[in-house]
A and B are shown apart, each in its own frame.
Chain A
Amino acid sequence: MKAGREAVIVGVAEAPLAAGKLADRDVNVLGAQARVAVRALAEAGLTLADVDGLLTSGSWGVPGPGRFPTMTLGEYLGIEPTFFDSTSVGGASFEAHAAHAAMAIETGYCEVALITYGSTQRSDRSRALGSRGDGLTSQFEAPFGLPLPVGAYALAAQRHMHQYGTTSEQLAEIVVASRGWAALNPAATARDPLTIDNVLASPMISSPLRRLDCCLVTDGAGAIVLTSARRAESAATLPVRVLGSSEAHSHTHIAAMPDLTLPPAYRTGPEALRRSGVSIGDVDVAMIYDSFTITVLLTLEALGFCGRGEGGAFVEGGSIAPGGSLPVNPNGGGLSSSHPGMYGIFLLIEAVRQLRGEADARQVAGAEVALVSGTGAVLSSAATCVLARG
């Protein structure tokens, strides 16, 4: 790699929410992305005129112009990118976008990459991922009433409990921990204290997952700007390096998942760390996709923070809560901060804030290395990035 071409994140921004909806009432999903894009660029001393790489994914505008996400967003913003990517693997898409943008910057294919995401699912009063329909390979899943995505995660949780004796109490520890972090984050949506008993008393949705095992349903919009280290010298923000990344996917439908207890993060975690030259013990902050409590537990095991089947014991006693041995999702995550349908960009944004030292009351002291691991669809995809301060 040519000197000065390492990829760094120089700008991040997320849209403020009010009671889970976009605080800005005068925008649609494209306008929401436009506003965060402008802010993320501005904090790096850049404007839309500087952008030559555009990456986005979302569930908006389909059928319709959303069939061409980067073209439609580019048209709206008035930019004509010469590098673009709308990799669409669910919530992990944005970690994959960061990896692809980094590769493009490192090879000189792109100079300034803008990644955006937006969703107005809460304002639109729509839940879940929207109907998958029953076409093509969905025709073998659609007739059987599996509530999606929760039912697929429930199948994985049930199997993990059977194989390893994991309990509902252990899963509850995960959302209780996220509330503890959310109490330190004024931007989080759900900040009231939560106990394990509260979680176990919440209504069963799809056994063994209860309502409080599930992420929030909110609006959201976020943007990230990456550029080369040389170009980053003129940015006002403390640069965050993308040290290494990895991505993998194995299925769309839960019946095709090779092992319900082993999501693709088992490949991407070790590979991203290996490419970064970082060992798992060096990780100061873990940003782990938390669509459901079980998602966090399975991913902690898959990434190697603990052994297979040990996730339940690992999260007991507040180990991932404020003051615990491994800070996980110190913004409150999808379980307590926000979850607009695809959460991955917010994992990256919080990691950047932590590494810059901008996280106020929820700051993890001395955070220098963050591991960010997105999960998409139904434990279908994983993309992991290792970020470092400076």
Chain B
Amino acid sequence: MDAETERFWTALRDERQLLLRRCRTCGCHLDYPRVVCTSCYGGDLEWVRSLGTGTIHSFTVSHRQVGGFDLEAPYVVALIDLDEGARLLSNVVGSEPGAVRIGDRVALVIEDLSDDRSVPRFSRITG
């Protein structure tokens, strides 16, 4: 968390919202908060709330337990393409790892790692 990103993390923790930076000039939603648009290089950006829905672009089931990580291996790490167009690295939770497929639809699940820290994860929308 730093001066540029504090709003992103506090919104997850306190308002239970996933915020994205959106460029007012070209409409692009940025993958992570920053002060320049990577699409048109403009500097006029606003915070918007993500719908929290998206599609799995790729995933991997990690059988290696990364030090300090809260989920127990095997767990799913995925690249999620939000419907707004931004891409996030996150985890897919609530499914058997073997059931996950590229193209699956997912929705936001905010998980609290501690009193101070909440992260955006995703679960598969079935049916």
Considering only residues 132-191 of chain A, those with a C-beta below 8 Å from chain B are 136-137, 139-141, 143-147, 150-151, 154-156, 158-159, 162
Say whether A146 contacts B88, CB under 8 Å. Answer: no
Least distance between A384 CB and chain B CB atoms (Å): 25
A158 touches B102 (CB 8 A): yes
Query: Does the CB pair A155–B62 fall under 8 Å?
Result: no
Among B21-29, B46-54, B71-79, the one that faces the other chain is: B71-79
Majority SS at the chain A contact face: helix
The answer on a CB contact under 8 Å between A144 and B90 is yes
A159:B62 contact, CB within 8 angstroms: no
A204 at the interface (CB under 8 A from B): yes
B62–A206 touching, CB < 8 Å: yes
Contacts of A144 in B (CB 8 A): 77, 89-91, 119
Q: Which of B35-90 contact A (CB under 8 A)?
A: 57-64, 66, 69-71, 75, 77, 79, 87-90
Contact string against B for A residues 64-80, beta-carbon threshold 8 Å, 1 for contact and 0 otherwise = 00000000000000000
Q: Is the CB of B102 within 8 A of A159?
A: yes
A274 within 8 A of B: no
A159 CB contacts on chain B under 8 angstroms: 57-58, 102
B105 to chain A, nearest CB (A): 16
Which of B60, B88, B117 interacts with A140 by CB under 8 Å? B88
- Chain B CB count within 10 A is highest, among A144, A150, A256, for A144
B89: contacting residue among A136, A154, A206, A254, CB under 8 A? A254
Q: How many A residues touch the partner, as a band?
A: 20 to 34
Report the minimal beta-carbon distance from B27 to chain A, rounded to whole angstroms: 19
Cβ contacts B1-23/A at 8 Å (1 or 0 each): 11001000000000000000000
Q: Could you tell me the distance in whole angstroms from the C-beta of B78 to the nearest C-beta in chain A? A: 8
Q: Mark B95-120, 1 if CB is under 8 A from A, else 0.
A: 00000001100000000010001010
Chain A residue at smallest Cβ distance from B90: A144
Considering the complex, give the chain A residue whose CB is closest to the CB of B111.
A143
Q: A23 at interface (Cβ–Cβ under 8 A)?
A: no
Q: Is the CB of A253 within 8 A of B89?
A: yes
The contact of A155 among B1, B31, B60, by CB within 8 Å, is: B60
The reply to whether B63 and A204 form a contact with Cβ atoms under 8 Å apart is yes
How far in angstroms is the closest Cβ of chain A from B93? 11
Closest to A207 in B: B61
Cα(A145)–Cα(B2), bound, Å: 21
On chain B, the residues within 8 Å of A204 by CB distance are: 61, 63
Within 8 Å of chain B (Cβ to Cβ): is A255?
yes
CB–CB A141/B89 < 8 A: yes
Once bound together, how far apart are the Cα atoms of A256 and B64, in whole Å?
23
Residues of A contacting B64 with CB < 8 Å? 147, 150, 205-206
CA distance A162 to B113 in the complex (A): 32
**Residue A203 lies at the interface, judged by CB distance under 8 Å to chain B:** yes
Contact A255 B77 (CB under 8 A): no
**Complex: how many Å from CA A208 to CA B58?**
11
A303 CA to B103 CA, complexed, in Å = 28
A145 B5 Cβ-Cβ under 8 A? no
Taken together as a complex, chains A and B put the C-alpha atoms of A204 and B122 apart, in Å, by 24
Beyond known contacts A155-B60, A162-B102: 11 more, CB 8 A cutoff? A141-B89, A143-B113, A143-B119, A144-B89, A144-B90, A145-B70, A147-B66, A151-B60, A207-B61, A255-B89, A256-B31
Name 29 A/B residue pairs within 8 A (Cβ), A-sorted.
Answer: A136-B2, A140-B88, A140-B89, A143-B113, A143-B117, A144-B77, A144-B90, A144-B91, A144-B119, A145-B71, A145-B91, A146-B60, A146-B77, A147-B62, A154-B60, A155-B77, A156-B58, A158-B58, A159-B102, A162-B58, A204-B61, A205-B63, A205-B64, A207-B61, A253-B89, A255-B31, A255-B89, A256-B87, A260-B79
> Which of B's residues lie within 8 Å of A, judged by CB?
1-2, 5, 31-32, 57-64, 66, 69-71, 75, 77, 79, 87-91, 102-103, 113, 117, 119
Q: Interface of A with B (CB < 8 Å)?
A: 136-137, 139-141, 143-147, 150-151, 154-156, 158-159, 162, 203-209, 253-256, 260
